Structures are given as structure tokens and as C-alpha cells.
Amino acid sequence: MIVAKDTGLNSLNGTNSAPSVDTAQPVQPTDRGYDDHGEQPPREECGVFGVWAPGEDVSKLTYYGLYALQHRGQEAAGIGVGSGDQILVYKDLGLVSQVFDEQILNSLKGHIAIGHTRYATAGGGRWENAQPMFRMASDGTDVALGHNGNLTNYLELMAEAAEKRLVDPADEPSDSDVMCALIADLIDENTSMEEAALQLFPRVKGAYCLTFTDGKGLYAVRDPHGVRPLSIGKLANGWVVSSETAALDIVGAEFVRDVEPGEFIAINEDGIRSRKFAEATPKGCVFEYVYLARPDSVINGQPVNATRVDIGRRLAEEWPAEGDLVIPVPDSGTPAAVGYAQASGLPFSQGLTKNAYVGRTFIEPSQTIRQLGIRLKLNPLRHVIEGKRLIVVDDSIVRGNTQRALVRMLRDAGAAEVHVRIASPPVKWPCFYGIDFPSPNELLANNVDQNNMVEAMREEGGADSLGFVSTEAMVETSAQPRETLCAACFDGVYPLGLPAGNPNAEQVRLRQRRLAEEAEQTAAGEVSSNNPEEN
């Protein structure tokens, strides 16, 4: 059974709190304004959560779990609750706190729940793509599923589902819906959900962490590369599965272990069982450590905050600067700024106040408001930064609009110098494994002189100096062996391959070919210049 409310995007009200204002000396935008062209940071596409706990209020536990995972998806939220045979799903567009209220949660009764937060990409922000997905098997079994990641063989699986008339390609079903449909199709009187899942997942390629249920058991799966994190926690009388350990802490679950790459987990009244459906070939997302995950999460044994502070220290060693004050771009730049200050011996201070809203506003800004740009998100503390040579630590540069607007705003607020330090290498390639990046042509690092890339990016952004942490340092601070990580958005090496039929993937293939040809030509040129007889 599925119950859902479709209010549509237009009905969403922003829940933004009022911008924090340094009322004593507000910074006036110059004629150029601080327009960041609506640039958004790279975003996770989803967070998943699941609870098996008879006697507990599982829908409320899931609500708080999703609340803790809100940063992983801010455009839709949903909870599916199972009570034996039946699953009740409630989902809608909006933040977790916008979608659910006390009354709705009280109506979701059962002993198993799965939850999902979504940031819309493929398939767009339609209500139909909000999760958990819901299907019914031929024997009447309800199936609800939540997915974090992106599949690389989506077209192949969709063709199979379309051939079986489970989906209509014209509806542009999401990869999550296709998986849900294929599992439900495999279930019958003789095939349990567990058996269906173990038949399907060895054929599913790409990045996926799933929680799903048939109303009787809670199930979880992590792809053989373990691209996205997924952890198991223990309640006094039940179990929790979550994209991040921070959500386990918040619902009072004790961390037990990560779901292993290629592992299937089943939880029911008999306890917890594990089955391997594929050999583990770990390729964890390094960007989770650098930026995406909450700093209070632990991934593969490594505290995320510790990695970020360490990156800041390495950044200070690799890119020292003459300055008076280290300030972070909150919140994601804060741990690295702490590390930079520690290693450089320079004082640390908050120089920017973040407008404490979560999520996106759907209000179309007027031209005047658009000019405010980054001021809607960050407000400089003039009395802190005036006359100072600032070292500003941020997490990444993607399109470069944010950096340009930020530097301009800090100068207008009285900064004597602005030295930007970035806690990740230049982003040059898009992600096909669950993070939303612009196409390669839109990334600033690809639109400047490649022979002098950092200096050219500095010029574009208007800073006095610019430095990026090296890939080697970033990988070392994650405390993971290099061969077990994906760093494709920085180095263009895609360990899970590229998806078919994706326009961004086509751009990547073309770019890879062009770079390979250029490298060949350069190598040939070097050989001939080293061989005087040829000259």
C-alpha cells in the first residue's frame, strides 16, 4: 500500500531563517555585486537509513536519522514502514522537516522502517522520483527501496525492465525505480526477497548503497566497490543501517561495523545475517572524506574531521602564505582552516557567518537579490577582517563563481589581502557515482591555461594567491590505501567505468582521447628533440 502527498515543488515554502547580519557595519555590495550565478557546491545525491526494532517508534527514529542525513539530499524525503505483510510509504518533495509532522509520523506504524533523503538529478525533481520506491510482487509482497549512488549499467537494466513491461522508458524511471521493479519481479511464492536480491545484485554495476524491506525483514546492500559509505548500528532492541555513522550516534545506536563492499545484510527476528554477493574491490569515494560526509562521521575507521584537519595542515606545508589571520568558509572549510592555523602558527578566527538555513529556496530572485549572490549565504564580519591579510580556507573550487564573489566581498569588507587555500585538488572531471558535478566544460579548472592552471585560476578568482592541496596529501590524510579509493573527479581515472548513453560521459571520453593524443604528441616531440639525427 502506498500513501503519498503530491504538493509539487511550487507549494514548498522556504524555511530559511533570517540572514545573520553584522548590523554594526554592513558591507555594501559594490556595483559589481556578489553574484555567484547561483553556484551550488558539489552535492550528494542521497542518504539512506533503515531500522528494525520491534516495540520502538521506528518512523520517528527514521525521521531523526534522516534529519542527520539531510546534507545528503535536500529536495525530497520519504519513509516506508513495514508491519508484517504491509508497507506504508509516505514521501514528498522538500526537506525532512517540511515533509513530515507529528501526525504523519504517528500514522506510520510498524517495526521496520526505511528512510531516504534525495537530491534530484537524473529523472529531475519529480515527485515520482522521491524515495523509497514502492512496488508489489506477483505474490502480493510489498517492496520498498531507498538508494544512494548511481548505476553505470542503468540503460541495460532499464531495457530489461522495459522488456518485461515493468517500466515505461518514456517515463524516464530512475535507476532506483528500475532496481525496485526488478527485485519485485523476481519475488514469487518460491523466491523470497533475499533470494531475489542475491539474483539481481551480482548484475548491477556502479555505485549503490541500499536499504530495502518486504515488511518482514530489513535488508541492506553495498556495491562491490563500496563507493558510498554504509554502516550498521545496534539499538538496545534492534538494528539500524545508515549512510553515515553520525546518524547512528544521533538515534542512540552503537556503531557495530561498516557493511562490506559486495555484502548483503538481512535483519529480522532471527538476528542479523550476512551474505557475500560479489568479491570486494574497494574504491571508496575520497571526496566523502574531504567534503561530502558530516565531519562527525567515521568512514572505514577514519574520523572525517581528523582527515579534514590534517588536510589543512598539509595545505599549510604545501602552500604557505604571509598573512595575519586564517578564516574558514563555513561550515565545510572549518576543519581544514583549523589545521592550516595549527600548522602555520597563524591565528584562527571566524570571519564569515553562515546564514543558518538548510537546503534550497525555490523563490525566484529579483535582479537586485541576485546581485547579493553569495551574501545570501555568507556574511563577512568586518570588525574581524578589516585591514587583515586573510588566508581563506575553502573545500573546493568547481565553477569558480563562488570564489570570485567571495574574494570580492572580503575585499569590500576591508581585507588587505585575500589568499585562498583549497582543501582539495582542482576538480576537473564529473562524477558518475552519486555526486552532482557540472559537466567538464563548466569546471573552472578546464577553462584556463592548462600550462599555468593554478595561477590562471587565481587570476579568474581575483585572489592575491591561490593554492590547492595535492592529490597525494589528500589521499594520505584519508588513511586509506590509494588503490582502494576513487579520486576520478580529480584525476579522471574512473575505476567503475563510465555509464553508456550519458552526455557528460561522452564529453569525458572525448576529453580523455584528446589528452591521450596530446600526451603522445608531446612524448614523440621529446623523443625527436633528444635524437639529434632526426633534427
Contacts to ligand SF4 from residues 473-492, by CB under 6 A: 486-489
* 154 binding ligand SF4? (CB under 6 A): no
Work out how close the CB of 13 gets to ligand SF4 at its nearest, in angstroms, rounded to a whole number: 31
- Cα 145 from Cα 48, distance rounded (Å): 9
Cβ neighbours, 10 Å, residue 50: 30
Residue 385 or residue 486: which is nearer to ligand SF4 going by CB? 486
Residue 21 or residue 493: which is nearer to ligand SF4 going by CB? 493
Residue 82 or residue 425: which is nearer to ligand SF4 going by CB? 425
Choose which of 63, 100, 219, 433 interacts with ligand SF4 (CB under 6 A): 433
User: Does residue 208 contact residue 197 with C-beta atoms inside 8 Å?
Assistant: no
Stretch that binds ligand SF4, among 217-225, 381-389, 393-401, 428-436 (CB under 6 A): 428-436
Site string for ligand SF4, 330-369 (x = CB under 6 A): ----------------------------------------
Work out how close the CB of 447 gets to ligand SF4 at its nearest, in angstroms, rounded to a whole number: 19
Stretch that binds ligand SF4, among 267-275, 280-288, 395-403, 474-482 (CB under 6 A): 280-288
Residue with cell 532471527: 270
Work out how close the CB of 226 gets to ligand SF4 at its nearest, in angstroms, rounded to a whole number: 11
- Cα 59 from Cα 80, distance rounded (Å): 8
User: Does residue 119 contact residue 74 with C-beta atoms inside 8 Å?
Assistant: yes
Contacts to ligand SF4 from residues 305-324, by CB under 6 A: none
* 285 binding ligand SF4? (CB under 6 A): yes
- Cα 104 from Cα 430, distance rounded (Å): 38
Residue 90 or residue 432: which is nearer to ligand SF4 going by CB? 432
Choose which of 49, 287, 289, 319 interacts with ligand SF4 (CB under 6 A): 287
Work out how close the CB of 227 gets to ligand SF4 at its nearest, in angstroms, rounded to a whole number: 5
Report the catalytic residues: 46
- The residue count for binding ligand SF4 (CB under 6 A) is 11
**Whole-number Cα distances in Å, 151 to 154, 204, 224, 227, 276:** 5, 7, 12, 11, 19
Residue 393 or residue 431: which is nearer to ligand SF4 going by CB? 431
Work out how close the CB of 429 gets to ligand SF4 at its nearest, in angstroms, rounded to a whole number: 7
Cis omega (within 30 of 0) on the bond before 132?
Answer: yes
* 151 binding ligand SF4? (CB under 6 A): no
- Cα 475 from Cα 154, distance rounded (Å): 30
Q: What is the bridge-based pairing of β-strands 43-44 and 325-328? A: unpaired
Residue 434 or residue 461: which is nearer to ligand SF4 going by CB? 434
Stretch that binds ligand SF4, among 22-30, 298-306, 403-411, 429-437 (CB under 6 A): 429-437
Work out how close the CB of 430 gets to ligand SF4 at its nearest, in angstroms, rounded to a whole number: 7
- CB neighbour class for 306 (10 Å; exposed up to 12, middle 13-18, buried from 19): middle
Query: Looking at the DSSP assignment, which residues form a beta bridge with residue 135?
Result: 143
Residue 329 or residue 431: which is nearer to ligand SF4 going by CB? 431
Choose which of 286, 293, 381, 423 interacts with ligand SF4 (CB under 6 A): 286
Work out how close the CB of 432 gets to ligand SF4 at its nearest, in angstroms, rounded to a whole number: 7
User: Does residue 476 contact residue 409 with C-beta atoms inside 8 Å?
Assistant: no
Start-end of H helices in 100-141: 102-107
- Cα 90 from Cα 100, distance rounded (Å): 9
**Whole-number Cα distances in Å, 329 to 37, 249, 392, 505, 526:** 18, 26, 7, 31, 43
User: Does residue 226 contact residue 209 with C-beta atoms inside 8 Å?
Assistant: no
User: Does residue 118 contact residue 130 with C-beta atoms inside 8 Å?
Assistant: yes
Choose which of 227, 304, 378, 466 interacts with ligand SF4 (CB under 6 A): 227
Q: What is the largest CA-CA distance in the chain?
A: 85
Site residues (vs ligand SF4, CB under 6 A): 227, 285-287, 431, 433, 435, 486-489
